[in-house]
Amino acid sequence: MTSSRGPSARVTLRSTPSPVRCLLLCVFVNQAGAFVQAFLILFLIGNGIDEGRAGFALGAYGLGAVLGSFVGGDLADRLGRRPTIVLSLASSALLTIAIGFLGTAHDYVPLLVVVFADGMMTQTYRPAAMAMLADLVPGDGLVMAFAIYRMVLNVGAVVGPLAAAGLVRLSWDLLFWADGLTALACAAIAWRNLPAPARRCRSANGRETGPSSASAYLGLLRDGRFGLYLLAMFASALIYMQYYSVLPLKIRAESYSSVVYSAVLAVSGVLVVTCELLVTRRVQTWPPAYAGVGGILLLALGLTAYGPRGGLALLFGATVVGVLGQIVAGPTMFAHPSRVAPGAARGRYTGASHAAFGLGSAAGPFFGVLLWNGIGAGVWALCGLVGVLAAVAASFAMRERPSMYQPRPAPLSTAQSPTPKGIR
């Protein structure tokens, strides 16, 4: 009887070339040093900018991040993975340092422009990094590789705020310089260690071949099943963000202290860090639709369970169910664009996926709080309904298709191009 488990995280890492480990190191260091989004409002208000304009600046950062997903996907396919990663990290380093100067000078319009550009360039590297990860990892380890990628981001997101809190106590200037210098260091590491793109094929007249940006995105829009996948990603992010927008309001309305909310977030973080790789070892062997649909339904069930008043036991039980849903669906959902995209458009498919998730993350708090103020606890039932619709979309979008099982190339060495030649 064969085992239902796929390769472990350790086996997956050992079977990949060294650029994969270098890429994951860059992702971790950059995430651990990413302080701007979390501390921007506090920095601006502390320097005399009113709350409304500070919030608008944070919104500009988020809008730039959504645009950066499209830009990063396009550049990853046109320029190559490594140039896009280096350009993104180096540009965001300079822009982040500039925010520190503009925020204290009260130059609001230039500040807004730089914050928007920083959000865009900070996000631009992610589609390229994920596309390179898919280029370099063997097909049977792809879902586990994305689970490791998510783990690296999560651990970096935990380490970052702790480091930032210490820096802020010394100086706000240190915060922006540390953010910028870590991004610049990652750019240097990426340039030196990640594989360079291959020369692009040229036609008889000497021009490079390959789809233009416009034609490639039109092709993406014509992929109806991928459109359903983007809808599922958007809807999942929309309801997921209620953990950070409506859940604290529910906890306060039930007369619990902020300590309870902190404990809920801590439980979520511990479950993800300790369990995601273990769960993914089994889930990676499932058909993609099973993982996507099952995980989204668990997320929806967990959110729906917040509706009735059931004390702390129900509160934490619902949290565990919802987090389990994220763990089951997350790696497979984020790996899906790389498994179905045409080789020349893998970056764009990945960028569109990130953009859909980013739009849902941006819209979630707005609609969640609006509905909470309008229908109260009914918002949780609505989250459940949206989750069911997202699961239905995922069930059609993530059904196995022949392109998911075409032969994939062997992992590339540092001397080879990361340009994909086949899709799993």
pLDDT score for 408: 45
Q: DSSP labels for 179-242? A: HHHHHHHHHHHHHHHSPPPPPPPB-TTSPBPS--HHHHHHHHHH-HHHHHHHHHHHHHHHHHTH
Q: What is the residue whose two structure tokens read 């990130």? A: 354
Q: Is the dihedral of CA 224, 333, 117, 125 positive or negative?
A: negative
- What's the CA gap between 153 and 165, in Å, rounded? 19
Q: Tell me the two tokens of residue 369.
A: 């709080």
pLDDT score for 336: 93
Cα–Cα separations (whole angstroms), residue 11 to 134, 144, 217: 16, 10, 36
pLDDT, one tens digit for every residue, the chain (424 residues): 344 677 777 888 787 788 899 999 999 988 888 877 778 877 888 888 887 788 888 888 888 988 999 899 999 988 999 999 999 999 999 999 998 888 776 678 898 999 999 999 999 999 999 999 988 887 778 899 999 998 888 888 778 777 777 787 788 888 889 889 999 999 999 999 998 875 454 434 444 445 555 555 666 777 889 999 999 999 999 999 999 889 999 998 888 888 888 888 888 888 988 899 999 999 988 999 999 999 999 999 999 999 998 889 999 999 999 999 999 999 999 999 988 887 778 889 999 998 999 899 888 888 998 999 999 999 999 999 999 999 999 999 998 765 554 444 434 333 333 333 332 2
Q: Tell me the two tokens of residue 26.
A: 């860059």
3-state class (DSSP) for residue 326: helix
From the list 121, 82, 75, the residue with the least C-alpha distance to 98 is 121
- Dihedrals phi, psi of 208, to nearest 5 degrees: -70, 140
Start-end of H helices in 254-310: 258-283, 288-304
Q: Tell me the two tokens of residue 292.
A: 């996507």
From the list 135, 74, 80, the residue with the least C-alpha distance to 339 is 135
pLDDT score for 141: 83
In the chain, what are the domains? 1-196 (1.20.1250.20), 223-406 (1.20.1250.20)
From the list 272, 338, 277, 336, the residue with the least C-alpha distance to 299 is 272
Answer for the pair 239, 386: CB distance below 8 angstroms, yes or no.
yes
- For 422, which DSSP code? -
Q: Which residues are paired to 282 by β-bridges?
A: none
- What's the CA gap between 132 and 86, in Å, rounded? 13
Q: Is the dihedral of CA 209, 212, 213, 218 positive or negative?
A: negative
Q: Which residues are paired to 208 by β-bridges?
A: 202
pLDDT score for 218: 66
